[in-house]
Amino acid sequence: MKFDLNNFLLAVSFALDYIEKDVFGLALNHGKRVAYDSLMLGKRLGMDEDDLADLVSLAVLHDNGLSEYISAQHARALTKPTQFENVKDHCIIGERNVENYPFLREEKTIILYHHEKLDGSGLFHLRGSEIPLKAQIISFADYIDIRFDSSKMYGEYKNRVKEHIVKLRDKKFSPAICDAFFDEINRASYRLDQEDGNIVNAINRYTPQKYMIMDYKRVREISMIFSRIIDAKSKFTGRHSKGLSEKAGAMAAFYHYSEEKTIKLHIAADLHDLGKLLIANDILEAERKLTTDEFAKIQSHTYYTRVAMERISGFEDITEWAANHHEKLNGKGYPYGLAAKDLDFNSRLLGCLDIYQALTEDRPYRSGMGHLEGMKIMTDMADGGFIDKGIVKDIGEVFAYRGKEKIK
């Protein structure tokens, strides 16, 4: 399949940007604005098309390690955006997460060093040309977006930003990058492009179109990266997407699915809870009955899974299967209230498996149920008309060999 990597990234990464908005109070779309700035600076510095396409991917993903970092630091209150800049962990985790990402150039350590400064004052104390150029650009763009408001980049405000950066020129940031930035902010479209409603189109307009011919197997490698980011968001559900994907594989084997259909089902399972990145952890991790407001927020997660995935060409059926996992046959599910006639087999299958996975996985406040106990609840739901009876029976059969043993 012809696969537009950057299109895919932009589609799914809008969820990443919510983490920073929720946790650190950064304006929404931080990752995208960093990508826009990086792209424009890279162009002015004469990078070629492959480097520019990679630079956009890297910039969009630069803080991907935050979800895991946040959950690891859950007990600690981190509230100011500047606090996380001083933490190496999100750089190390982020670099590790993109290890298998199909970049066009074989170049490592960009995300690892995205907080380095020319004078060695960064997290790893690299200096000058020891810092890869792409990392220098992202570091600069990140610095700008955390401290300044691109929508005000004109008149007196623009002059103040310039004065600020002039002082750092050749100290924290390379003169070439600073000068390219001064040229950039002189055009009105710089601030207009970065408005929330325009930013995706602007990045698409200026990013070299680099399609890759990829089979679904290769795409799966990327969806697994996101599965890991999603699971890492909360230690309460730390293996949920991975576990679901494994079970989906077992069911696909049971139904003798073709290899391609199996991989597509895996991708749907990897990404099914993508929209959870938009939901604050105190709701995801509530150990009590949710309030009406909180439940309304939870209901939005599959809506956003669909919003992100439906933009990806080649993902039409994968999107259906992933985004319908909380719909019910009797129309009592969410967010669309779809009914039996709208739910294809794999949507029903993922819906059932998601329940089975949730029931049988351990949570910090309770251990997972055994197979039989979980099946009892699911059979009751099937009898009540909520989920597919036949599939529930098949799940009972496929995982029965584990008997009473807990399936995690």
Contacts to Fe ion by CB under 5 A: 63, 142, 273, 354
DSSP 102-149: --SS----TTTTTT--TBS-STT--BGGGS-HHHHHHHHHHHHHHH--
Q: Which is nearer to Fe ion, 231 or 273 (CB)?
A: 273
- 174's tokens: 């390379």
Q: Which is nearer to Fe ion, 273 or 327 (CB)?
A: 273
Least Å from the CB of residue 42 to Fe ion: 17
Q: Which is nearer to Fe ion, 63 or 320 (CB)?
A: 63
Q: Which is nearer to Fe ion, 142 or 231 (CB)?
A: 142
- 164's tokens: 């600020």
- 109's tokens: 């350590």
What is the C-alpha separation between 115 and 139, in angstroms, rounded?
Answer: 5
Q: Which is nearer to Fe ion, 115 or 220 (CB)?
A: 115
What is the C-alpha separation between 311 and 21, in angstroms, rounded?
Answer: 22
Least Å from the CB of residue 353 to Fe ion: 9
Least Å from the CB of residue 195 to Fe ion: 19
Buried (b) or exposed (e) across 205-223, using 16+ Cβ within 10 A? Answer: eebbebeeebebeebbebb
Q: Which is nearer to Fe ion, 353 or 375 (CB)?
A: 353
- For residue 211, the SS3 value is strand
Least Å from the CB of residue 22 to Fe ion: 14
What is the C-alpha separation between 176 and 356, in angstroms, rounded?
Answer: 56
Task: For residue 9, give Cα distances in angstroms to 27, 46, 270, 314.
Answer: 19, 24, 15, 14
Least Å from the CB of residue 201 to Fe ion: 22
What is the C-alpha separation between 56 and 39, in angstroms, rounded?
Answer: 6
**345-360 helix and 259-271 helix, angle to the nearest 10 degrees:** 50
Q: Which is nearer to Fe ion, 220 or 325 (CB)?
A: 325
77 phi, psi to nearest 5 deg: -85, 110
- For residue 285, the SS3 value is coil
Least Å from the CB of residue 244 to Fe ion: 6
36 close to 184: Cβ distance less than 8 angstroms = no
Q: Which is nearer to Fe ion, 116 or 142 (CB)?
A: 142
Q: Which is nearer to Fe ion, 4 or 231 (CB)?
A: 231
Least Å from the CB of residue 395 to Fe ion: 15
**389-398 helix and 345-360 helix, angle to the nearest 10 degrees:** 50
Least Å from the CB of residue 326 to Fe ion: 6
For residue 2, the surrounding DSSP H or E stretch is strand 2-4
Q: Which residue has 């199996």 as its token pair?
A: 262
- Report the relative pairing of strands 211-213 and 2-4 from DSSP bridges: antiparallel
Least Å from the CB of residue 355 to Fe ion: 9
